[in-house]
Amino acid sequence: MADAPAEKRTDFLTSRQLADMLQVSEATVRRLRTSGRIPAIRVTDRIVRYNLRDVRSALARAAKARADADGEPRAHATADGLDEAQMNFAELLAEFESAE
């Protein structure tokens, strides 16, 4: 009897786990979800999970769209003007992917 093929398992992350992986706060993860910038799975009214592959794809598409629209990645605005030292999501995603 042949072995059954291994099931492909998709791991879903909590807001805290995703925040740790992206090196942002949980509040940032929630803002990204509620604004529709990252996809989420609502398990119940109170339980939300994230597929890392889908989140990465969404962030990469958004970064590419911003870069295409502006000609280059944008700096983040602050009360004092532009903060050139702040990483944008394209840079964050590149750092994350290079760490794997």
Residue range 39-87, pLDDT digits in tens: 999 999 999 999 999 999 999 998 888 888 776 555 554 444 444 555 6
Predicted local distance difference test score (pLDDT) of residue 65: 85
CA 32 – CA 54 distance, rounded (Å): 13
Q: How far is CA 84 from CA 23, 48, 54, in A?
A: 18, 33, 28
Alpha-helical runs (H) found in the chain: 15-22, 26-34, 52-70, 89-99
Q: Do residues 40 and 48 lie in contact, with contact meaning Cβ atoms separated by under 8 Å?
A: yes
- Residue 99 is predicted with a pLDDT of 60
- Cα within 13 Å of Cα(94), Cβ side: 8
